[in-house]
Amino acid sequence: MKLSEIVEKLQLEVMCGRESLDQEIERGFAGDLMSDVIANARPKDIWVTMQVHMNVVAITGMKETGAVVFTQGRIPLPETLRKAENEDAVLLGTGLTAFELVGRLYRLGITG
């Protein structure tokens, strides 16, 4: 499914990377421990997390995940946004909990 379609259907806030929404998302990964994400996330995953620090951007670049979604209305730190802008990362936000968001993604056909 196109990332832009996911953003529209789940009404996600686009915090960074609006020009990169025209990409296919195949699967998803949820995780707040960076070591877990480094070990287990895959390219083109949509990554669901409540962590908003700068390392999230470095890891999404390294793992080539398609986008990051911050849950529960968490606002990225200013340095996180700056780094994301420099590195063309896609940062999205939602007020939903991870559980709720992952459920809705699954209903759209995005599996683990």
Partner 1 sequence: MLSRYKMDLHNHTCLSPCGDAGMIPQNILRAAVEKGIGVIGITDHNSVENVSAVKRAAEDFDISVIGGMEVTTQEEIHVLVFFDDDKGLLDFQELIYANLHGSNRPEYFGNQWVVDFEGGVLDLNPRLLIGAVTIGIREVEREAHLRGGLVIAAHADKTAFSIISQLGFIPPDVALDAVELSPFFRTDGNESWVKELPAVTFSDAHYLQEIGRAWIEAYVGAPTAAELKLALGGEKGRRFTACC
Measured CA to CA, the distance from residue 32 to residue 102 in angstroms comes to 14
Our CB check for partner 1 shows the closer of 20 and 61 to be: 61
Q: In whole angstroms, give the CA distance from residue 51 to residue 41.
A: 15
CB of 76 to partner 1, least distance (A): 11
Structure tokens at 27: 């699967």
> Near partner 1 by CB under 8 A, which window of 2-10, 14-22, 30-38, 101-109?
30-38
Which residue in the set 38, 85, 100, 110 belongs to the binding site for partner 1 (CB under 8 A)? 38
DSSP 11-37: T-EEEE-GGG--SB--EEEE-S-HHHH
Q: Which of 48, 51, 81, 84 binds partner 1 (CB under 8 A)?
A: 51
- Of the candidates 59, 111, 107, which has an alpha carbon nearest to the alpha carbon of residue 91? 59
> Does residue number 55 form part of the binding site for partner 1 (CB under 8 A)?
yes
When binding is defined by CB under 8 A, the residue of 22, 35, 78, 111 that contacts partner 1 is 35
Binding site for partner 1 (CB under 8 A): 33-35, 38, 51-55, 58-59, 61-62
